[in-house]
Homo-oligomer: A and B are copies of this chain.
Amino acid sequence: MAAPAEFALIARHFLPLAGPEALGLADDAALLDPPPGRQLVLAADAMVAGVHFLPDDPPETIGRKLLRVNLSDLAAMGAAPLGYLMTTAFPRDLPEAWIAGFVAGLAADQREYGLAVLGGDTVAIPGPISLSLTILGTVAPGAALRRQGARAGDDIWVSGTIGDGALGLRVLQGRLPGDAAGHLADRYRLPRPRLALGAALAGVALAAMDVSDGLVQDLGHLCRAGGVGARLEATAVPLSPAARALVMADPALLALVLTGGDDYELLFVAPPGAAAMVEARAAAAGTPVTRIGEFVEGPEEVLVQGPDGAPLALPAGGWSHF
């Protein structure tokens, strides 16, 4: 459904991203032999300029963020990447250099994560850049990590550090000190999908998800899926040195860290006796993990225990569009 100019665009920029199953992007569809003895894992995410990324973010990181947000969904299921389809809606006056940068970022990530384009579509939009990506992965039958499975007494774990993405967005918006070359801005623009950790947690984690909408809100999803409450220890939540410095200067930023979203870390559940095994698996995957609380009997909600031991009041809701 592409106009002639779009065929040229596809041949010049997107064809080099295509894997053999894409049939040269010259057929009506891709043809793929599903890997034998594996289940398919499928997710799709959309991103819109001015909503999910800043219009002046480098195009190289926008393509990579789109792909990595989807890879993070695979990581949360313990799945391995197989390929992706992407549709792009670009304004007619978008410079071709922007598209070249966008594609260069994707090409770098295809090498890094070992997958390729299976198909897609490129259209025009009289509005902001609008992107959609569908990812395919595979997992051993029955091994997928689900959101349901938490029980009272189980430990709450999280990978990496929390809050960097939300703080990084404010840095890029000029609302917090810092610069576009720093750690926080980088974490906003380039999520690190925890694929190795997700795969390593099979058989030890009871449930998992990725943190995209804010730690507290996403922990609430695990509570509702498991029919349990959660007690989150705010002081246990792992912060990067850059995030810690900002929160120490303005303790009110702790709420943003806990609810801000754009983390793309794994939030997962393990039995209380499994801490050593969790730590060993995470170390083997090269990913730091931290125990940040426990699931409890009671209403399906998250109690955040503040630095003074008292419940911490947080703004309602989780991630919100900026």
Contacts and interface: CB of A to CB of B under 8 A. Distances in A.
Contacts of A87: 44-46, 132
Given A33-B40, A51-B124, A128-B126, A209 B28 contact: yes
Contacts of A132: 44, 46, 87, 121, 132
A146 B34 contact: no
Contact of A123 (B3, B47, B213): B47
Contacts of A41: 29-32
Interface in A25-43: 26-34, 39-43
A261 B6 CA distance: 15
Nearest to A77: B29
Interface stretch (A68-76, A168-176, A228-236, A280-288): A68-76
A85 interface: yes
A227 interface: no
Interface string A152-177: 00000000000000000000000000
A280 B178 CA distance: 71
A271 interface: no
Nearest to A212: B1
A61 interface: no
Contacts of A51: 123-126
Interface in A187-218: 209-210, 212-213, 217
Given A29-B77, A48-B130, 6 more contacts: A1-B52, A2-B213, A28-B210, A46-B121, A47-B123, A51-B124
14 contacts: A3-B317, A26-B221, A27-B77, A29-B76, A29-B135, A30-B43, A31-B41, A32-B39, A44-B120, A46-B89, A51-B123, A124-B321, A125-B127, A126-B128
